[in-house]
Structure 1
Amino acid sequence: MAEMAKGAGKLSRGLALFLPGIFLLGFNIGTGSVTTMATAGANYGMSLLWTVAISCAATFLMIAAYGRYTLVTGETALEAFRKHIHPAVGIFFILALGIGVCASVMGVMGIVAEISYEWSKTFIIGGIDPLFWAAFFCAVAFFIFWSGRTQVFERVLAVIVAIMAGCFVLNFFILMPPVEDMAAGLLPAIPEVASSETGPLLLIASMVGTTIFSGLFIMRTTLVKEAGWTIVHDKQQRRDAAFAAIMMFIISASIMAAAAGSLFAEGIGLDRASQMIGLLEPLAGPLAVSIFAIGIIAAGVSSQFPNLLMIPWLLCDYRSTPRDMTLWQYRAFVFAISLLGLVVPLFDARPVFVLILSQAFNVVLLPVTVGCIIYLGNRTDLMGDHRHSVATNVGLGGIFLFSLLTGFMGFQGLIETLGV
């Protein structure tokens, strides 16, 4: 028994080293990512896999850069924006991310409810009403929040993320496309436009937007500070960031591959993730459908929960106050945000449109987010001998230019989608 307890203790300590990265992973891989990756795989096979690889590499560099800033200075991102750039920059991020989060809460829960409804049709005649599913999962997310402790949040998310990752990776092996197609997809190329309304350029912008998410890097600084890490933990911080980025690539590639190996192979396009529930069953059977549905639901819950936390944490960071989520005002605020998850099924709104609205703010935010860390990370008075290296500056400069390009593509695609 003593040996088992000792082994369990080692496992727990080992897991604790990666909990901040797991939190980011759960935040990043949500229904928007699933929808985008599944659409890319169904419409273009594995030809856009290179976009995922580049986006995940850029995400690693941004996570590591923002995390390193907090290791050196002990300041979160919003503290730094307020103190060293301008208070208006911090307020801009709070407003833009806050609006984006509210839209995301509605869109994510709308898609989770839609997926759950379609899946329930496979075992209950007529299915279970989407409003019931939305209310149930909103209650689950709020119940997790009720404890108020970051350690509890991280451990619960670790379980949910493990379920999500297991489902998508298992589906990858069930529906795996040819290995040569996956290898060819790592070479940058723009495929021909499919019959779907989602063109490759808009899809590339969406894939970048769902992976290189500004809120991810802002939250990273909060998690690093909560963990009590300093510059002596730099290697650990980079390992944690690398773990998050690698897992993002594996899960995203698995989703794309599952759609490519089934729908693309049959010449069946896709415009939303819920279509896969009906399309997959005759191709892969009910087991693959159930695994995929559980994976999407886990992805939705894992991203919904950090969405609820973001605005209270941003406000605490900006004001440099303790992040005590047990205070009644925070619980009331998060409860109100949770209710937004009922909007889509209650009013029969379009969840994909709502998600597009939430992603529109990231098009504006990402270049600003990159620019801020380039400025802060190169200030000798803040970073001392730990300021950015030449290689880091080159990498961040490349991400800045890449964000401008994909931001323009996303803006053009958004205009076309909205018919403006």
Structure 2
Amino acid sequence: MTHNLRGRIKEAIALFLPGIFLLGFNIGTGSVTAMAKAGASYGMSLLWTLLLSCIATYIMIGAYGRYTLVTGETALHAFRKHIHPAIAIYFIIALTIGVSGSVMGVMGVIAEISFIWSKTFIAGGIAPIYWAIFFSALVLFIFWNGRTQVFERALAIIVAIMAACFIINFFISMPPAVDIAKGLLPSIPAIAETKPSSESQGPLLLIASMVGTTLYSGLFIIRTTLVKEAGWTIKDIKQQNNDAMFAVVMMFIISAAIMAAAAGTLFAEGIGLDKPSQMISLLEPLAGSFAASIFAVGIISAGVSSQFPNVLMLPWLLCDYQNSPRDMTLPKYRIMVLGISLLGLVVPLFDARPLFVMIASQAFNVMLLPLTVGAIIYLGNRADLMGQYRNSRLANLMLFAIFLFALVIGYMGLQGLIEMING
């Protein structure tokens, strides 16, 4: 009986592994940074941005997943074959640059958070560089020695820990329910009047970064590979939609919980946020040491869960482009993963501050989004590829709305970056 129950649980988890992978990929320290910054600076007033981004993410996951269900082709291979190789190569270059910056920023945040947290149980704490080496080695060890199933299950466990931590913290530090409800109404708040911040951003750049970290082009490209490897066909469209819904609902819940924790504490006290590690030292007197520790574990789990797919992004993109099996034991791919992993030591070694880089890179992600939407509109309407499953009028209307949304948000992100550069 116990064996049967255990088998059923494993089967249930396996059904949602693609969605769990997307969740781990999406909710990283970049997302935590953007949501915590939004909550600390503007309370829950930007919750509408997260909601719209999650709805658009579900539509995009569905569109890219359905293309693969029908044709059996992954995204970059389709771009190369049916649009132009230059488009696929552009995605490889742009996403690799973005991921390289993310690896540096993510490990910088993990190391800094771990250092601050370690001070609570070790005098002086453990230096950030040692934490960066430890977590980089952990990701490499699991990649180097683990099979795909081990890799996916390790990711699922880390994602579960992350989700539990942020949801628990929400109930400890949540703002008034009326503020949460008001946040669902679209509005652009005035520039935050919190305590002076050396890296303050206006609402436009922050909105762009929130969209960039949620409605992420790499997410949709990788989705097609996960759908193909799961062996799903058009007969599995219901499973594909359920899996996508699970991932997106959890994205919204976790991201909203992070924003609420900062809104219920830092925003309520009029305290700005320069860097994610401040959440630990500032939360402790406001919400207690338990809340601070829970948030620390959540951020670390978020960073590690996103670091797995980050270091694998380039090899996976190349396999997608070449339409070749994802054999990560090949020496050339192991060298790539090792090189990208070593970027995680840059921030601790040079004592850089990753918050600006992460916010700006997330805003840059939005610049890639219109092309991502335009490509699936084109492919999804090709009768020779999709047959009876080509985009309906409603699907095209929704995708076109996302395309316009991406253009507007991209413009806002560009304006926000200009404002930040000009001081």
- Indicate the TM-score class for this superposition, using the shorter chain for normalisation: over 0.9
Equivalent residue, structure 2, for 1:303: 306
Alignment-mate amino acid for residue 39 of structure 1: K
Equivalent residue, structure 2, for 1:98: 96
Matched, 1:375 2:411: no
Do 1:101 and 1:358's aligned partners in 2 also have CA atoms closer than 8 Å? no
Structure 1, 80-89 or 360-369: larger mean CA deviation: 360-369
1:193 corresponds, among 191, 194, 214, to 191
Give the distance between the partners of 2:145 and 2:76, measured in 1 at CA.
25
Alignment-mate amino acid for residue 111 of structure 1: V
Equivalent residue, structure 1, for 2:197: none
Equivalent residue, structure 2, for 1:152: 150
Equivalent residue, structure 1, for 2:220: 217
Structure 1 counterpart SS, 2:175: coil
Give the distance between the partners of 1:340 and 1:416, measured in 2 at CA.
29
Matched, 1:284 2:287: yes
Alignment-mate amino acid for residue 170 of structure 2: F
Structure 1 residues 19-168: aligned runs within 5 Å: 19-147=17-145, 149-168=147-166
**Can you list the C-alpha shifts for 1:65-106, whole angstroms capped at 9, x where unaligned?**
100000000000001000000011110000110111111111
Do 2:314 and 2:336's aligned partners in 1 also have CA atoms closer than 8 Å? no
Equivalent residue, structure 2, for 1:181: 179
Matched, 1:392 2:395: yes
Alignment-mate amino acid for residue 365 of structure 1: L
Structure 2 counterpart SS, 1:46: coil
Q: CA deviation at 1:192?
A: 2.1
Structure 1 residues 232-381: aligned runs within 5 Å: 232-381=235-384
Q: CA deviation at 1:117?
A: 1.0
**Can you list the C-alpha shifts for 1:87-130, whole angstroms capped at 9, x where unaligned?**
11110000110111111111110111111111112222211100
Give the distance between the partners of 2:189 and 2:364, measured in 1 at CA.
27
Q: 1:375 to 1:419 in 2, by over 3 A?
A: same
Q: CA deviation at 1:358?
A: 3.2
Give the distance between the partners of 1:412 and 1:60, measured in 2 at CA.
27
Give the distance between the partners of 2:145 and 2:65, measured in 1 at CA.
26
Give the distance between the partners of 1:112 and 1:417, measured in 2 at CA.
25
Structure 1, 197-206 or 253-262: larger mean CA deviation: 197-206
Where does the alignment leave 5 or more consecutive residues of structure 1 unmatched? none
Alignment-mate amino acid for residue 344 of structure 1: V
Give the distance between the partners of 1:217 and 1:4, measured in 2 at CA.
38
**Can you list the C-alpha shifts for 1:246-289, whole angstroms capped at 9, x where unaligned?**
00000000001111111112222223211111111111111111
Structure 2 counterpart SS, 1:94: helix
Give the distance between the partners of 1:352 and 1:415, measured in 2 at CA.
17
**Can you list the C-alpha shifts for 1:351-387, whole angstroms capped at 9, x where unaligned?**
1233245335413211100000000001000000111
Equivalent residue, structure 1, for 2:208: 205
Do 1:109 and 1:134's aligned partners in 2 also have CA atoms closer than 8 Å? yes
Alignment-mate amino acid for residue 357 of structure 2: V
Give the distance between the partners of 1:377 and 1:295, measured in 2 at CA.
38
Alignment-mate amino acid for residue 29 of structure 1: I
Aligned length: 418
Give the distance between the partners of 1:115 and 1:203, measured in 2 at CA.
22
Alignment-mate amino acid for residue 284 of structure 1: A
Give the distance between the partners of 1:207 and 1:117, measured in 2 at CA.
26
Do 2:208 and 2:362's aligned partners in 1 also have CA atoms closer than 8 Å? no
Do 1:106 and 1:354's aligned partners in 2 also have CA atoms closer than 8 Å? no
Give the distance between the partners of 2:128 and 2:406, measured in 1 at CA.
36
Structure 1 counterpart SS, 2:297: helix
Do 1:363 and 1:411's aligned partners in 2 also have CA atoms closer than 8 Å? no
Q: CA deviation at 1:336?
A: 1.1
Give the distance between the partners of 2:144 and 2:8, measured in 1 at CA.
28
Q: Runs of at least 4 residues of structure 1 off by over 4 A?
A: none
TM-score by length of 2: 0.96
Structure 1, 318-327 or 19-28: larger mean CA deviation: 318-327
Structure 2 counterpart SS, 1:84: helix
Alignment-mate amino acid for residue 14 of structure 1: A
Equivalent residue, structure 2, for 1:18: 16
Alignment-mate amino acid for residue 59 of structure 1: T
Give the distance between the partners of 1:99 and 1:269, measured in 2 at CA.
30
Do 1:99 and 1:358's aligned partners in 2 also have CA atoms closer than 8 Å? no
Structure 1, 65-74 or 151-160: larger mean CA deviation: 151-160
RMSD of the alignment, in Å? 1.3
Structure 2 counterpart SS, 1:75: coil
Do 1:147 and 1:326's aligned partners in 2 also have CA atoms closer than 8 Å? no
**Can you list the C-alpha shifts for 1:154-198, whole angstroms capped at 9, x where unaligned?**
211110000000000000011111111111111111222212522
Do 1:106 and 1:341's aligned partners in 2 also have CA atoms closer than 8 Å? yes
Structure 2 counterpart SS, 1:228: coil
Matched, 1:226 2:224: no
**Can you list the C-alpha shifts for 1:135-160, whole angstroms capped at 9, x where unaligned?**
11101111121146433222111100
Alignment-mate amino acid for residue 187 of structure 2: A
Structure 2 counterpart SS, 1:146: helix
